[in-house]
Structure 1
Amino acid sequence: MSSSTRRRRFLRTAIGLAAVLVLSVAGVGAWFYNRLNSNITTFDAGGVATERPPSPVPASPGAQVPVNLLVLGSDTRDNGNNSLGGGDGGVGNSDTAILVHVYADHKHAVGVSIPRDTLVTIPSCKLADGTWSKPRTDQMFNSAFSLGELPSGNPACTQNTVEKLTGLRIDHTVVVDFKGAAAMSEAIGGVEACVPNDVNEYGIHLKKGLQKLSGQSAVDYLRARHGIGDNSDIGRMKRQQAFLSSMIKKVQDQGFSLPTLLPLADAATKSLTVDEGLGTASKLVDFARSMSDIKLSDVTFVTAPWRFAGERVRLVQPDADTLWKLLREDRTLDGHSTSGTGQVTGSPSPTAPGAPAASTPLTPEQAAAPITVVNGVGTSGLAGSGAQTLKARGFQNVVLGANEPGRQHTEVAYDPAQKAVADQVAALFPGATAVERPGTDSVTVTLGADYQPAGGTKLDAASAPSPGASAAPRAGPSTPAVPSGVPTGIAENIRGADTDPCANLTFG
């Protein structure tokens, strides 16, 4: 056989092997694509309200527009979820709701948690028999999901409720059940999360500390409320925000590679219910790709400004309306326009409004000094606002202490060895009294009625709630002006996605 004949035969063989390989890969791709398509469950678009907020208009022809994604967590025990959550079957409620606003630059995002106990107006919603309910006022927000007792819940009703509440048009809605949370956490090899204390309540067993959670333990962490932190739904939302941040970080650290994305896509699509706009694998892939430029440091979580109203929650005004207005106008939380700048920040400015700028830089030892912030008034979220002020200054080791209502004046207590740190801290709280207290483990800031939160109004003795009382929501206009700083109700509820997963897991 001549050498030229051998070369031609080898070339034909190589081409044939390459063709087989390409066809095999294409076949696997098609098989996996079809598998993902068959996994996806959609909800009926006929339940979405016909009267809706307008879609955003591009700043220029071909320009990108903001995107609003509503993520709901269903606590249904049907379809095998009872093995993860315990209890009997049923539609269940949506105890987790996060409205994700992706800015028009598609490089920054804000996730707004809406407390499940918030009293809202549930608009007319489509029921299982095809009729529409009448609007209902002063209803718990999470009950919208179960309205009509549809077998898989009523995500369209929750979407209608959020649009009514915020004036934002929801582009996509995604529902995740217990199985979905378990499968996705397992698919990426676990998620780093911080458990504030040992938990042994209602069949949930978790050990205190920073650890990797997946499957059942991840579900337990996300749904636990009793026996962990402050036993509140608000505290649970803080932990859910921290968990989602860690999950985003894990995926980004692993890279958007096939070994990472294929198992995650398979796990996710098996347990997600989505709107028809995300109802195919290609639509989901396109949507995920459009979000791929968002860095963890450019994601901010915020809980909608809230106050207790008996056993329920009401949104604080005018701060809540300010938040919705900022998002409708695609502005940052401190009121900056995002159009044409290429720069968006969802966090407060380096020095919180209302606090004096401290010119002396902190030493590494001062930055790491332990500081405890105590709510001495009783207004929920006050200690969180003080902690934000300290962190904005550069203090890194800030924790919240137990509430001590009834304090009229702000106090900074310190061991004499920490006087330099205490002086820096006291400068951030005008009018605070510095008190030497030998043996104190940390510099302790106890906020009194004279404390003026960032961008807020000082509480005087007459307006300070009595010990144990809930603060009444503030009244205000429904369309406030865009603020120059971060409103108090927003600032005290902010959590950066790149925050230490053990930081601020309760409210103060």
Structure 2
Amino acid sequence: MTDAKSRPAKGTPASLRGRLARAAGATAAVLVLAAGGGGAWLYWHIDHNISTFDAGGIAPSRPPAAAPVTGGGRPVNVLLLGSDSRDDGNEALAGGEAGVGNSDTAMLVHIYGDHRHAVVVSIPRDTLVTIPPCRLPSGKWTTAHANQMFNSAFTVGEFPQGNPACTQNTVEALTGLRVDHTVVVDFKGFAAMTDAVHGVDVCVPNDVDSYGIKLAKGRQTLSGQQALDYVRARHGFGDGSDIGRMKRQQAFVASLIKKVQGEGLNPATLLPLADAATKSLTVDPGLGTAVKLADFAQSLRNIKLTDINFVTVPWRYSGERVALIHPDADRLWNLLRQDDTLDGKSTGQEAASPSSSAAPSAGPSTTPSASPAADLPVTVSNGSGTGGLAGQAADALRAKGYRNVVLGPDASPRGTTLIGYAPDQRGAAEQLTQYFTGATLRVDPSADGVTVTLGRDYAPDDSAATPSAPPTTVPVTIAENTRPADSDLCTDLSFG
């Protein structure tokens, strides 16, 4: 880990002080990324608080950056991680032994191209994923490992302060979205931020007295240790799962946003918050100075609480772990890649008149891209040893809505179907597994889209005789797991 050490040569310009001050109103929308002014001393102080992680661990092959939207800016994705490391004094708040922790809280914030809307996606810590190659302290890179718990990516290499770059690589491979910025906050920093805003309003759904955590039922304002207990606790709430904990974390972050936005530019709140936030965060180099933080937060100043939604990625239990539900999870990632809202519309369409939204034109410029499969290049090769099987598989994919399917040369015989994908097509490759049960996924840097090499395990799907229409509704697993940021504090706070 390195520390950003930039200093202003002379006094901080008035324009910068203004940007730092205005940035504070948008701070909570990205977990308090920046905060308000106070002259050259504060600028210097905040600048020297900021810690950055080494960007050399970010995968060289990544999804492309999102293009600017028509009439707006560029969509931005921010990965927020809560580290449960007990190092650096955190054991006093959370107990346990010092050492490298996990990222037991992970939220992917998608800021829409209009910079007026945002979606915060919670990823369960126990989700089984493929952890792609990640860099070790020696400089060597690991090989990809399938069926790993999501939060274990943070521990790869056992870096003293964790491996946020590896978690970022994992999220990019999982979603097909480019992560523009990654922010890590620890226990100590979280508690300090809640103290700085004089507490956050929460609702405790039931009395809790478990594992040393005691909370009384009802609406109340929590800060410091109690606020940390509220977002950390699993046991004593519902079925004691991480899923219920994520529901409370979503409600807490929404309440924090409301608190900071409601304070406006009150220096009595913002100056301590600026100090606490920047001391507690570890960020990528792209946010590694006070100026960068302030400018980024300033770009989010128009996001209101009513225009933020929280959603949990579609999931199901897989034994004691969590598996993603396909193709529902793929649908969610595609909505974000298309910069569409969770109901399948663009932010521009939300402002359309009722008549235009009720009867959209059939033209490509106004119809949402409902099927991520439509234009994906797919090459099907036959390694099954059964003649004609590649043609049948290609026809089946076309019937499912894939328009760009071609046949490749026959491959060497193999037992298991292999799906190779370009580094930015992980989500699309995972979506294909629903048609090729048991297929193995592998990154192929030379692939143009996705390649399917059939193995002896492939059985044709005779049910795909006619083309299926692309989905027009959002899966219930997304709709039922969405929480508007302005929801009542006591709504949907536990699971099981």
Unaligned runs of at least 5 residues, structure 2: 1-13, 19-36, 359-430, 437-449, 451-467
Q: Given residue 316 of structure 2, which amino acid in structure 1 is its aligned partner?
A: R
Q: Which amino acid aligns with 1:212?
A: T
RMSD (CA atoms) = 2.5
Counterpart Cα distance in 2 of 1:253 and 1:482: 42
Letter in 2 for 1:135: A
Equivalent in 90, 95, 99 of residue 81 of structure 1: 90
Q: SS in structure 1 opposite 2:220?
A: strand
Q: Which runs of 5+ in 1 are unaligned?
A: 1-21, 350-472
1:300 aligns with 2:309: yes
Within 5 Å, which residues of 2 pair with 1:28-67? 29-59=39-69, 63-67=72-76
**Who is 1:208 aligned against?**
217
Q: C-alpha offsets along residues 45-101 of structure 1, whole Å, 9 cap, x if unaligned?
A: 0000000000111235x8401110000000000001011101110111011000000
Shift of 1:131: 1.0
In 1, the alpha carbon distance for the partners of 2:265 and 2:432 equals: 45
Aligned-partner Cα distance in 1 for 2:254–2:43? 28
TM-superposed CA distance for 1:290, in Å, is 1.1
Question: Which of 1 and 2 has higher RCO (CA within 8 Å, sep 6+)?
Answer: 2
Q: Is contact 2:69–2:113 with CA below 8 Å preserved after alignment?
A: no
Asked whether the 8 Å contact 2:69–2:75 carries over to 1, the reply is no
Residue 330 of structure 1 pairs with residue 339 of structure 2:
yes
Please say if 1:492 is aligned against 2:480.
Answer: yes
* Percent sequence identity over aligned pairs: 64
2:274 aligns to what?
A: 265
Distance in 1 separating the partners of 2:435 and 2:55 = 34
8 Å contact 1:316–1:474 — kept in the other structure? no
In the superposition, the TM-score normalised over structure 2's length comes to: 0.69
| Counterpart check, 1:238 vs 2:226 | no
What SS class does the counterpart of residue 257 from structure 2 fall into? Answer: helix
Q: Are the equivalent residues in 2 in contact too, given 1:75–1:92 (CA < 8 A)?
A: yes
Partner of 2:372: none
SS across alignment from 1:145: helix
1:256 to 254, 265, 286: 265
Q: Contact between 2:231 and 2:248, CA under 8 Å: does it hold in 1?
A: yes
Quick one: which amino acid aligns to residue 495 of structure 1? R
Q: SS at 1:127's partner residue?
A: coil
Amino acid at match of 2:493: L
- Give, as a single letter, the amino acid of the residue that structure 2 aligns with 1:334: D
Range 299-308 or range 201-210, more displaced: 201-210
Kept after mapping to 2: 8 A contact 1:109/1:300: yes
SS, match of residue 302 in structure 2:
coil
State which drifts further: 269-278 or 199-208. 199-208
SS in 2 for 1:73: strand
**Which SS does the other structure have where 1:244 is aligned?**
helix
Residue 300 (structure 2) aligns with: 291
Deviations 1:108-137 (A, max 9, x none): 110000000000000000111111111100
C-alpha deviations, 1:318-365, integer Å up to 9, x for none? 100000000000001111123476579xxxx9xxxxxxxxxxxxxxxx
Count the aligned residue pairs: 357
| Superposed displacement of residue 177, structure 1 | 0.5
> Could you tell me how far apart the structure 2 residues matched to 1:482 and 1:276 are?
40
**Cα-to-partner distance string for 1:159-200 (whole Å, 9 max, x where unaligned):** 000000000000000001001110111111100111111212
Does the aligned pair in 1 maintain the 2:79–2:106 contact within 8 Å?
yes
Q: TM-score scaled by structure 1?
A: 0.67
Aligned positions of 1:476-487 closer than 5 A:
476=434, 483-487=471-475
Map 1:4-153; keep pairs closer than 5 Å.
Answer: 29-59=39-69, 63-153=72-162
The one-letter amino acid paired with 2:479 is: A
Q: Distance in 2 between matches of 1:282 and 1:217?
A: 33
